[in-house]
Structure 1
Amino acid sequence: MESVTPDLRHRLGKLVFERVAGADGPKHRERIHLSEGERWFADDRPIRLVHADSSMFIGGLRALLLQSLHPLAMAGVAGHSDYRGDPWGRLQRTSYFLAVTTFGLAEDAERAVAKVKGIHRRVNGTAPDGRPYAASDPHLLKWVHVAEVDSFLDTYQRYGAAPLDQAGRDAYVFDTAFVARKLGVIDPPTTEAELREQLAAYRSELRSTPEARGAARFLLVRPPLPAIARAPYAVLASASVASLPAWTRRPLRLPYLPVTERTVVRAAGKGIVRTLRWITAPVPERAA
């Protein structure tokens, strides 16, 4: 990477940031990180360490794939989310929510939560299997939460810059529970052991559906990307699949190649995350 000039590194980092954060990204970043005021989490909290790491690129994909296995949660996404027509907009809204609730002013985090809860109140309907669903249902909210937290923690431990010890992992889950309660989750997990238990408790509700398989194909095979981004994205996608539990592969029609995943995919995933971390880090000022 030493052969890459600071100017090219800056341009690459700016391109990635614009994709993830959108046109308002610079304005949001300045307010989130530079404004004076109370925040939900202190600088030394694990949630800040995990959510600032480039492993989140893999964790986000893993979370979407895992969440899609709940038919009612997926019905809400399929029926009310324009994830196919505007995937970048959805990514940018999600990244802003994570950033503002993790790093931003408490008042801005409260407003972001209120906005999401307002959207949830309008998302309801009937799933293809005839069951009613509502995005504000605490049971579905908890599924989305535990699948997301499990994904972010798992991929951080695999690809993060400084994997957490047991106390750190428990503290991360504890931090995320604060945000979950704000969103309406009842009794979210507060330790890694509770996270594993609550995730396992949903296994009997998870199913292979056309909507889930279609979402997986869209995310992994047919994402709307420019040609230059397809190879790096393929590595991120492969790493996200490799990090999923083995029991998710059959319902999502995904391959399971344990030896390849432990060697080739793991190494490639580490490489792409390290590269993303490097190009998105602030470029040091040159000495005069």
Structure 2
Amino acid sequence: METIRTGAGARESVGDPGLFGPRSVTWQMHGDPMMWVAGIRALYLQALHPRAVRGVMENSDFRRDAWGRLRRTANFVGTTTYGTAEAAERAGARVRRIHRMLSATDPETGERYRLDTPDLLLWVHCAEIDSYLHVLRRSGFPLTDAQADRYVAEHRVSARLVGLDPDAVPASRADLADYFEGVRPELAAGADARAVDDFLLRPPTHPLLVPAREVLWRRVAHLAYAALPPYAHELYGRAAPAPHVVTRRLRATGTLLRRVPARLRWQLPPKHILRAMARLGPEARPAPYKVGR
């Protein structure tokens, strides 16, 4: 198999479709700009699991390096979606290696626990997949129910990368709903969750950029929060607009962002999609209309 250089001496196998491939629902969905709103919703949701968010707080300087954490998460999703199979496996191995070394203290019981326990990994996984699917569909990305189920099932592959048994991971929207119903008694908006909430509403930035943060970022954060399920709003104790209003705002935002030329959006480093197209050819370009093919 031929290889191409992709910068910094890295080499990628020409023709390697990676773990999902251009015919997957994942390939088409993850190129959509509303993934950024979905990612913020996932952070809000993930913070409601006391042990999961405590693990973040104890093992990273969230307030100082929150942007770096967001970039690393986006890079992992981009690599596992559009990178070669080898690159995806390396990314997964790195995540598993880091998680094996980390632990945290339960804020209620004082118990010390590892961060690579299946229940915590499953919570993070399900919160992400649910957020990606929910926000994109609600903002107008065209998916049938069957295609949405296919997306959930595809991500048993990404679950394996972080150390989960794929057979123990939801494989459909119904499975996801059952999972969230079962885990709800464990959720709470404690001090750590409120710290995440405060950060997402007021992330630290240069003084000259504060007006832009107030005008642009807070609107995005409010929209991501509004897209949470009702039980999350109850836990945070902050009301959200009526569902039909949220849907209208999500659709308006999706319409606006999708008008930005894809080639321009994909120029942002590390250019996962452009690299995948260079490896596989222009027909690998992700697009919503390809989902049903």
Structures share a fold, TM > 0.5? yes
Secondary structure of 2:258 counterpart: helix
Question: Do the aligned partners of 2:139 and 2:253 also contact (CA within 8 Å) in 1?
Answer: no
- Please state which structure has a larger fraction of its residues in helix: 1
From 241, 244, 262, the counterpart of 1:262: 244
Identity over the aligned pairs, expressed in percent? 35
Find the counterpart in structure 1 of residue 272 from structure 2.
Answer: none
C-alpha separation between the residues in 2 aligned to 1:236 and 1:133? 34
From 197, 204, 219, the counterpart of 2:200: 219
Secondary structure of 1:282 counterpart: helix
Secondary structure of 1:84 counterpart: helix
In terms of mean alpha carbon deviation, does 222-231 or 77-86 score higher? 222-231
C-alpha separation between the residues in 2 aligned to 1:136 and 1:280? 39
Find the counterpart in structure 1 of residue 30 from structure 2.
Answer: 51
Report Cα offsets for 1:33-75 as digits up to 9, x if no partner: x954241112121111221111111111111111111111011
1:221 deviates by 3.3
From 237, 243, 251, the counterpart of 2:235: 251
From 226, 243, 255, the counterpart of 1:242: 226
From 51, 58, 75, the counterpart of 1:79: 58
- Name the CA shift for 1:104/1:31 in 2 (closer, same or farther; >3 Å): farther
Report Cα offsets for 1:267-286 as digits up to 9, x if no partner: 34333333333335126xxx
- Name the CA shift for 1:229/1:31 in 2 (closer, same or farther; >3 Å): farther
Q: Which amino acid aligns with 2:169?
A: P
Secondary structure of 1:96 counterpart: helix
Question: Do the aligned partners of 1:159 and 1:270 also contact (CA within 8 Å) in 2?
Answer: yes
From 191, 204, 216, the counterpart of 1:210: 191
Question: Do the aligned partners of 2:139 and 2:252 also contact (CA within 8 Å) in 1?
Answer: no
Find the counterpart in structure 1 of residue 48 from structure 2.
Answer: 69
- Name the CA shift for 1:151/1:31 in 2 (closer, same or farther; >3 Å): farther
Question: Do the aligned partners of 1:62 and 1:244 also contact (CA within 8 Å) in 2?
Answer: yes
From 177, 188, 191, the counterpart of 2:172: 191
Report Cα offsets for 1:113-133 as digits up to 9, x if no partner: 011111111220212211322
Secondary structure of 2:240 counterpart: coil
Find the counterpart in structure 1 of residue 148 from structure 2.
Answer: 169
Alignment gaps of 5+ in structure 1: 1-25, 284-288
Alignment gaps of 5+ in structure 2: 1-5, 265-293
TM-score (norm 2): 0.79
Question: Do the aligned partners of 1:235 and 1:269 also contact (CA within 8 Å) in 2?
Answer: no
Number of residue pairs the alignment of both structures matches = 252
Secondary structure of 1:202 counterpart: helix
- Name the CA shift for 1:31/1:199 in 2 (closer, same or farther; >3 Å): farther
- Name the CA shift for 1:153/1:57 in 2 (closer, same or farther; >3 Å): same
1:31 deviates by 7.1
Secondary structure of 2:181 counterpart: helix
Report Cα offsets for 1:185-211 as digits up to 9, x if no partner: 231111111111112111111112111
- Name the CA shift for 1:276/1:31 in 2 (closer, same or farther; >3 Å): farther
C-alpha separation between the residues in 2 aligned to 1:116 and 1:62? 22
Question: Do the aligned partners of 1:31 and 1:104 also contact (CA within 8 Å) in 2?
Answer: no
Find the counterpart in structure 1 of residue 102 from structure 2.
Answer: 123
Find the counterpart in structure 1 of residue 130 from structure 2.
Answer: 150
Measured on the aligned residues, the alpha-carbon RMSD in Å equals 2.3
**2:72 is the alignment partner of 1:88:** no
Find the counterpart in structure 1 of residue 85 from structure 2.
Answer: 106
1:141 deviates by 0.4
Q: Which amino acid aligns with 1:65?
A: Y
Report Cα offsets for 1:139-183 as digits up to 9, x if no partner: 1100111111111110011114x3211110111001111110221
C-alpha separation between the residues in 2 aligned to 1:125 and 1:229? 32
C-alpha separation between the residues in 1 aligned to 2:216 and 2:82? 27
From 60, 74, 87, the counterpart of 2:39: 60
Report Cα offsets for 1:236-273 as digits up to 9, x if no partner: 11211111111111322322332xx522x443433333
